[in-house]
Structure 1
Amino acid sequence: MEIERKYLVTSLPDTLEPYSYHMIEQGYLCTEPVVRIRRQDDDYFLTYKSKGLMVREEYNLALTRDAYLHLREKTDGSIISKKRVLIPLTNELTIELDIFAPPFAPLMMAEVEFPTEEMALRFEPPAWFGQDVTFDGRYHNSALSRQKIQV
């Protein structure tokens, strides 16, 4: 189960240098239901996500590099590339700050995953978070991948 809140970000914290990060590339084989492939650094995954906005079922299956490359050719829409910076928030919570590469730049979004729905609903975001887009399906990466991008 994935329980997350999602926010637009227009200004960053003073520095991101002390935080670890991942380089992510992902594409979509299907967007209803969501079937995604992802390269995260040197790891590869196939992911299924159910319908939903803040709460969804999510299942990950490891892929080989060759399987990922084979499936990448079959994706629909745009491939999404982004840098994901991991910023500790509390002992339980981490901010996943996504800084998108072109053609989606300068888009930046912050996601926080929660152990319970109640905790997610009570969450008070840091001051540098922008608009809450948790309940706006247009900001799911699967929806972004379907946008017509002018290059």
Structure 2
Amino acid sequence: MIEIERKFLVTSQQFKTEAIRKTRIKQGFLNTDKARTVRVRLKGEIGFITVKGASTDDGLSRFEWENEISKTDAEALLKLCETGIIDKTRYDIEVGNHLFEVDEFFGDNTGLIVAEVELSHPTEIFKKPNWLGKEVTGITKYYNSELSKNPFKNWNS
């Protein structure tokens, strides 16, 4: 239940031509405490509830528990979430032995595109696609829970 991932900015739209799947996602947060977040997600027609613990100091790993819920339950819980629902399309791209998840954000986060790759251990080597830009692992403003409170449109580059 420990998630290990690295996060990067994306430098071009090329990833879209390499995607094996894309899914629209709406998500909100019932709790955005730094020690634990509780997320509700509607991924296509499937709902999920997720609890994440605090990140390690380097931002590489944290506890994550997720369970599937019905679309109806997810829609009802999204109405109870804190202000700042996240709207994005996720593109899944296979690169070497890894799956990159690239999120293109909409609404108040339009213009932000972030890629994540999940690893089996913190020092695992992985192939980097040419559209992968600056690493932002551990920079909290790129966490979805933070984007819901301080969206990309409010940043002063």
TM-score relative to the length of structure 1: 0.89
Q: In the alignment, what sits opposite 1:109? A: 114
> What is the distance in 1 between the residues matched to 2:19 and 2:128?
21
Shift of 1:69: 2.0
Deviates more, 1:122-131 or 1:62-71: 122-131
Q: 1:116 to 1:71 in 2, by over 3 A?
A: same
1:77: Cα distance to partner?
Answer: 2.3
Deviations 1:87-127 (CA, angstroms, capped at 9, x unpaired): 10123x111111111221111001000111221xx446333
In the alignment, which residue of structure 2 is the partner of 1:47?
Answer: 50
C-alpha distance in 1 between matches for 2:66 and 2:111: 28
Contact 2:16-2:91 within 8 A present in 1 as well: no
1:6–1:110 Cα contact (<8 Å) kept:
yes
Runs of at least 4 residues off by over 6 Å: none
Shift of 1:19: 2.2
Unaligned ranges ≥5, structure 1: none
1:133 equivalent in alignment to 2:136: yes
Q: Is 1:81 matched with 2:82?
A: no
Note closer, same or farther for the CA distance 1:100–1:14 as it changes in structure 2 (3 Å cut): closer
Q: Which runs of 5+ in 2 are unaligned?
A: none
RMSD (Å) for aligned C-alpha atoms: 1.8
- Match of 2:30? 29
Cα deviation for residue 18 of structure 1 reads 5.3
Percent identity over the alignment is 33
2: distance between equivalents of 1:72 and 1:21? 21
> 2:24 & 2:11 partners in 1: Cα distance?
20
Partners of 1:82 and 1:99 within 8 A in 2: yes
Point out the structure with the larger strand share: 2
